[in-house]
Amino acid sequence: MDTTRFSADRVGGLIWFVFGAAVVYGSWTMDRLENLNIPPATAPGVVPGLLGLGIMAFALVLMLRRERTVTVDFSGEAAEQTADEGGFHWKRLSLSALLCLTYGAVLLGRGVNYSALTATFLFLHLLLLDESEDVPARITLRRAIIAGTIALAVATVVTLVFQYIFLVRLP
């Protein structure tokens, strides 16, 4: 691997690994509620700790995997090569971080309807970020319709799951 360039998978994997480690640490330091005779398997930090370990495991997979491509030369011989790893897209990360922080830290829980806020966040995320070098992405009617459909469907399903399965009242 060229040490001057990092792939998006490696940088993203590292970020997810650090986040997973923070979740594991936070769950480990949570109150165990032993004074309430809570069984250790049902302590508040068990599920977040397991989720943090899962995030760390998948982050390692993301960081350590190698993309392979198969090329065929003129003689018909197939040769396996490692794919060229492009540089990390800081514009895409910055825009995504801005959208996430605006959604989670600024607007969520401040009186804005959860379903509408989530649908808008997802719509903007899907519309502005894509696999190309252009950030924000080139907006087309087709992209807007697809992003809107996905955003409305996901926001509706998440809202219904939280309200009717987890019995959590959303803002």
Q: pLDDT tens across 108-148, in order? A: 888 889 999 999 999 999 888 876 655 566 778 888 899 99
Question: By mean pLDDT, which of 20-29, 34-43, 109-118 is the weakest?
Answer: 34-43
Of 5-9, 24-28, 103-107, 161-165, the one with minimum mean pLDDT is: 5-9
Q: Does 4 have pLDDT greater than 50?
A: no
Please indicate, yes or no, whether the overall pTM of this predicted structure exceeds 0.75.
no
What is the distance between the alpha carbons of residues 75 and 66, in angstroms, rounded to a whole number?
26
What is the C-alpha separation between 82 and 66, in angstroms, rounded? Answer: 7
Q: What pLDDT score does 82 carry?
A: 46
Q: Quick one: CA torsion of 30, 35, 40, 46, rounded to 10 degrees?
A: -20
Are 68 and 82 within 8 A, CB to CB?
Answer: yes
How would residue 85 be classed by pLDDT, with cut points 50, 70 and 90? very low
In this prediction, what percent of the chain has a pLDDT beyond 90?
A: 30
